[in-house]
Amino acid sequence: MTYIRSPFTIAVLLAAVFPALGGISWAQFTQVGPFAGSHQEGFETQDTSSNPFPTCVEDRAFNGDADLCSSTAGAHITSGWQFGCGIQEHGGARLFGTTGGAAVFTFDSSAMSFGGYFGTNNPTVGDGAISFYDEAGTLLHSDLITAPNDCTWTWNGWDFGGVLVKSIWIQSNYSSGGYMMLDDLEADLVPGEVGTVICSCDGSQSSAPCGNFGSAGHGCGNSFSASGARLHGSGFASMSASSLKLHGVDLVPGWEGVFFQGDLALNNGSGYVLGDGLRCAGVNVRRLEVVMTSLAGTVETSVDLTAVHGNPIAPGDTKCYQLWYRDGAPGPCSSGFNLTNAIEVTWLP
């Protein structure tokens, strides 16, 4: 990263880089006011006190969906930082900054927007620069960060206009980019799949009830899809900020289904024959939600899985999830019902 001394220099560099970007439409990136994203980061759960100024924050960022590193091994999480002036956290009890070099976020999936509160306690100049990169490491956009060097906090935020961003570099105009403080960040991240797939009816784990094998990672074949119905999760399995949703696809359209949870995966994750499918979620089975499949054969949960019907989940628990559904054809094996594959999910605090 280039060492940038002043906002004027940043503006000159941006103007110089812009023509070289060819087909990149910088107009897609727009500055936005404070928003509530799908993921938040206030640095309340991370701690660098046992390993001062590491290269990367050990407990990651954005609910474990991003790495947060310093380009010069100077990451720091603290309750306050005295230098040219004293800056305190914007909210909560902690803030993040670096002693030198850029702060670098690298997302597991991709980000669609990003923002938060920025401040600096360096003794000379304020403000800074932010750069957005795609998965190939191509620079997509750079912009100025407003952050006066008076230890106050200023919101800066960007909507990417549909462009997917894999990494973000943030630097101040001081000490090779260091001493730019961050707190109370927001981001909209592309949902990644959550959970470990088990009970696949592709022949790798169990036999199909009547030879109706499905595709890898799916349940057994049904009257709508020879591949079988598939269950997957999206969001974040956290007790404090649960956004986990369960999704079913390739189901028989227009019929009832039931999402359910068990404490254990039956038969070591291979399941047992039940109807036209395999049942895998067992022990203390709990019905979560009754649903109706769409005309496209899809469905998803709309309830908080940590709270529905007083669901007793604790941090560290691993639960097994599955979807039972009707097949009115009445299905390959003529039982009239089937099941998706299952997924195991371990819940975080």
Which residue has 């669609």 as its token pair?
A: 112
Q: Which long-range contacts (CB under 8 A, 24 or more apart) does 239-243 make?
A: 239/306, 239/313, 239/314, 239/315, 239/347, 239/348, 239/349, 240/349, 241/40, 241/63, 242/304, 242/305, 242/306, 243/38
* Pairing between β-strand 154-159 and β-strand 180-189 as defined by DSSP bridges: unpaired
- The whole-number pLDDT of residue 293 equals 92
Predicted TM-score (pTM) of the model is: 0.56
Q: What is the pLDDT of residue 16?
A: 33
pLDDT score for 9:
35
Tokens 């997302």 locate to: 107
List b or e across 119-150, with b for residues whose CB sees 16 or more CB atoms inside 10 angstroms. Answer: bbbbeebbbbbbbbbeeeeeebbbbebebebe
> 110: which 2 tokens?
């991709």
Q: Which domains does the chain have, with CATH numbers?
A: 7-189 (2.60.120), 193-346 (no CATH)
Residue ranges of the chain whose pLDDT lies below 70: 1-27, 241-242
Instruction: Please name every residue paired with 218 in a beta bridge, in sequence order, or none if there are none.
Output: none
pLDDT of residue 282: 95
- Distance of alpha carbon 113 from alpha carbon 223, whole angstroms: 41
pLDDT at 241: 63
- Percentage, residues of the chain above pLDDT 90: 64
Report the alpha-carbon angle 140-145-147, nearest 5.
165
What per-residue confidence (pLDDT) applies to 47? 80
Question: Alpha-carbon distance 11 to 261, whole Å?
Answer: 55
Structural Rg of the chain based on CA atoms: 24
314-344, pLDDT tens digit by residue? 899 999 999 999 998 899 999 999 999 999 9
Query: What's the sign of the alpha-carbon dihedral 235, 236, 241, 244?
Result: positive
CA dist 24 and 66 (Å) reads 25
Question: 181 with 245: CB under 8 angstroms?
Answer: no
